[in-house]
Chain A
Amino acid sequence: ETGVTQTPRHLVMGMTNKKSLKCEQHLGHNAMYWYKQSAKKPLELMFVYSLEERVENNSVPSRFSPECPNSSHLFLHLHTLQPEDSALYLCASSQVWQGEQFFGPGTRLTVL
Chain B
Amino acid sequence: SQQGEEDPQALSIQEGENATMNCSYKTSINNLQWYRQNSGRGLVHLILIRSNEREKHSGRLRVTLDTSKKSSSLLITASRAADTASYFCATVSYGNNRLAFGKGNQVVVIP
Contact = CB atoms under 8 A, between A and B. Distances in A.
Given A43-B88, A99-B48, A104 B101 contact: no
A64 interface: no
Interface in B43-57: 43-45, 48
Contact-size category for B? 20 to 34
A56 B45 contact: no
B59 to A, nearest CB: 16
A99 B33 contact: yes
Highest count of chain B CB atoms <10 Å: which of A6, A88, A92, A99: A99
A96 B42 contact: no
Contacts of B43: 43, 90, 92, 101, 103
Given A31-B97, A42-B3, A94-B97, A99 B42 contact: no
A40 B45 contact: no
B97 A102 contact: no
Interface string B30-66: 1101010000111111001000000000000000000
Contacts of B101: 42-43
B41 A56 contact: no
B99 to A, nearest CB: 6
A1 B48 contact: no
Interface of B: 3, 30-31, 33, 35, 40-45, 48, 88, 92, 97-99, 101-104
Interface of A: 1, 4, 6, 31, 40-43, 45, 48, 50, 56, 88, 90, 92, 94, 96-106, 108
Given A43-B101, A90-B42, A94-B97, 15 more contacts: A1-B41, A1-B42, A4-B42, A40-B103, A41-B103, A42-B101, A42-B102, A92-B43, A99-B33, A99-B92, A99-B97, A103-B35, A103-B43, A103-B45, A105-B41
22 contacts: A1-B41, A1-B44, A31-B97, A41-B103, A43-B43, A43-B88, A45-B98, A50-B97, A56-B98, A90-B42, A90-B43, A97-B97, A99-B30, A99-B31, A99-B48, A100-B45, A101-B43, A101-B45, A103-B35, A103-B42, A104-B42, A108-B40
